[in-house]
Amino acid sequence: MKPTRHRLPKPIYECLPYCYILLGIFIAYSISSSFAIICGALLIAIGLVLLIQRHNYRSDSQAITQHQRKK
């Protein structure tokens, strides 16, 4: 599989999901409106989805690589 090039530097790219989660928590707890709580929950959900997708992709990539090495 050909490695993809990220448009962001790797350290920034890797920390984005955590930033989304932290920002969502901050917004949800610091602003007392239902709209802010919904926006915060969405940011948290987006961050979690990104973490899960990256984990699954990297796990699958490692499994494929290990399987190819056994051949």
In this structure, the number of other CB atoms found within 10 A of the CB of residue 43 comes to 20
Per-chain mean pLDDT for the chain = 87
**What's the pLDDT score for residue 40?**
96
**What's the pLDDT score for residue 58?**
86
Please give the average per-residue pLDDT across 6-35, as a whole number: 92
Give percent of the chain above pLDDT 90.
59
**Contact, 18 vs 46, CB < 8 A?**
no
Token pair of 44 as six digits: 């948290």
Give percent of the chain above pLDDT 70.
76
For the chain, give every domain's residue range: 11-50
The 8-class DSSP code of residue 39 comes to H
- pLDDT tens sequence across 38-68: 999 999 999 999 999 999 988 876 667 666 6
